[in-house]
Amino acid sequence: MSKFDISNFSDAVLKSPATWAQTWKIAYKFGKDDYLRRKRIQGCLWHFVKRKQFTFADASKLIDKSKTFPAKYEKTLKEYLAHKASAKSVQKNVQNMTKQSFAKKFKPMK
């Protein structure tokens, strides 16, 4: 089996979006022991792929050379988790308000 060599790819391929397999490999590399972190990393990277901000060449560099998950993507993950947490608290507040208003309107029968 031959070793992967990025220099064998054309410029068009290098500038094209990263593949799903590349995002999986990067997620596995930086989140080996934590399934949830792996999936979050993969989702974060796929977010950038869909917006054409993460190329085949970028992914290859992360796979081959990077020792730590880049701060740019780590920041995006933290923002996502903060947003998700605040959305959950808002949803919980709405549910509590709904329960309270329901209890006021419909008092239990004795």
Asked which of 10-24, 51-65, 84-98 is least confident by mean pLDDT, the reply is 84-98
Strands (E), the chain: none
Whole-angstrom distance, CA of residue 47 vs CA of residue 105:
44
Chain mean position to CA 2: 31
What pLDDT score does 64 carry? 87
Please return the burial class of 44, using the count of CB atoms within 10 Å of its CB with bins 0-12, 13-18 and 19+: buried
Report whether pLDDT(44) > 80: yes
Query: What are φ and ψ of residue 55, in 5° steps?
Result: -95, 170
Q: Which residue has the higher pLDDT, 29 or 90?
A: 29
Tokens of 78: 């933290």
- Across residues 59-76, what is the average pLDDT? 88
Query: What are φ and ψ of residue 67, in 5° steps?
Result: -95, -25
Structure confidence by residue, pLDDT tens digits, 69-99: 888 888 988 888 887 777 777 667 666 666 6
